[in-house]
Amino acid sequence: MTENKLIIGTAPDSWGVWFADDPQQTPWERFLDEVAESGYRWIELGPYGYLPSDPARLADELKQRGLQISAGTVFTAFHRGLDQWDEAWEPARRVAELAREMGGEHIVVIPAMWRDDVTGEAVESGSLDRKQWGDLFEGHNRLGKVLADEFGLKQQFHPHADSHVGAQQDVEHLLAETDPAYLNLCLDTGHAEYCGASSLELIRKYPERIGYLHLKQINPEVLAKVNEENLTWAAANLAGVMTEPPGGLPDLRAVIEAVEALNRPIFGIVEQDMYPVDFNLPMPIAQRTRSYLLSCGSRTTVN
């Protein structure tokens, strides 16, 4: 990317894919076919192992459909102690190698959730002490440096519901204590809204730290129920907390206008969390969402 534009792409998540292998998920061949048919040109790798992990085969499958890779995704739990490095690095290395081979520039990093993303069961405390925060910061600075030095990739940290970094103050704490050379934000507009953070405020206050976008919206009525009943992220998804744009929050037109004003190239990847989902539902939503997002900005494109 050399021009100052917002490039719209999509991800396996928008086809109900959360895991490398699950019979409730859209088969990967169908996912790629439908992405191309929907008019997108950029995708993420999704969970490692969902798409072919052999670089030659994946490159061929992408070329046949005119698709390119923007990023891979990895998961970390550095707040649990610095010995988490060994557990995080091996899967991260595989993703980084494949992303680099496919021409990707970014690694989206999602912190561990304190409640299980399927069952909703609490697996640890929902808050961190000072040492845990310090371990989290140190681990991500180290990860970002290795990704940059060894693979030429940029770490984009993804604040996430039911993780320890989601609320506005926690995201700002992360940005204050990490090195911008090695960590910036994958600003997920849906997760920010879910956690009470403001996408527009983060863009305004930290323009240089916005490195990547996940574009989605939250149904405000369902979110009110989530907050009233303290629903887990798993239960919230089943209740339909994610909604098709432009029917929810935040205002993606305002977000896109603010990002275009940053005057540098950036990816805006559509994510429509809806695991599990009927295989026939994702493509029409993806097509409508693409058309809507392209209408939101003067420098927003799929190429």
pLDDT digits over 170-213, tens only?
A: 999 999 999 999 999 999 999 999 999 999 999 999 999 999 99
Q: Is the peptide bond before 276 cis (omega within 30 degrees of 0)?
A: yes
Would you state the structure tokens that stand for residue 188, as one six-digit string? Answer: 């997920």
Supply the range of the domain harboring residue 248: 6-301
Q: How far apart are CA 202 and CA 192, in angstroms?
A: 10
Give Cβ neighbours of residue 281 (< 8 Å, ≥ 6 apart).
274
| Domain annotation covers residue 200 | yes
Give Cβ neighbours of residue 230 (< 8 Å, ≥ 6 apart).
none
Radius of gyration in angstroms for the set of CA atoms belonging to the chain, rounded to a whole number: 18
Contact 150, 182 (CB under 8 A): no
For residue 1, pLDDT beyond 90: no
Would you state the structure tokens that stand for residue 69, as one six-digit string? Answer: 């890779």
pTM of this structure: 0.96
| Domain annotation covers residue 265 | yes
**Of 14, 25, 34, whose CA–CA distance to 244 is shortest?**
14
pLDDT digits over 272-294, tens only?
A: 888 889 999 999 999 999 999 99
Q: How far apart are CA 194 and CA 218, in angstroms?
A: 7
| Domain annotation covers residue 168 | yes
Contact 272, 289 (CB under 8 A): yes
Residue positions counted in the chain: 303
pLDDT digits over 216-260, tens only?
A: 999 999 999 999 999 999 899 889 999 999 999 999 999 999 999
Residue 95, amino acid: V
Degrees to nearest 5, angle at CA 99 with 258 and 61 = 105
Q: How far apart are CA 203 and CA 171, in angstroms?
A: 12
For residue 120, pLDDT beyond 90: no
Confidence of residue 155 (pLDDT cuts 50, 70, 90): very high
| Domain annotation covers residue 247 | yes
Q: Which whole-number Å values give the CA distances from 139 to 100, 109, 133, 136, 279, in the listed order?
A: 21, 12, 10, 5, 38
CATH of the domain at 170: 3.20.20.150
| Domain annotation covers residue 76 | yes
Give Cβ neighbours of residue 3 (< 8 Å, ≥ 6 apart).
265, 299
| Domain annotation covers residue 28 | yes
Q: What is the mean pLDDT of the chain?
A: 96
**Of 136, 64, 75, whose CA–CA distance to 108 is shortest?**
75
Residue 225, amino acid: K
Domain total of the chain: 1
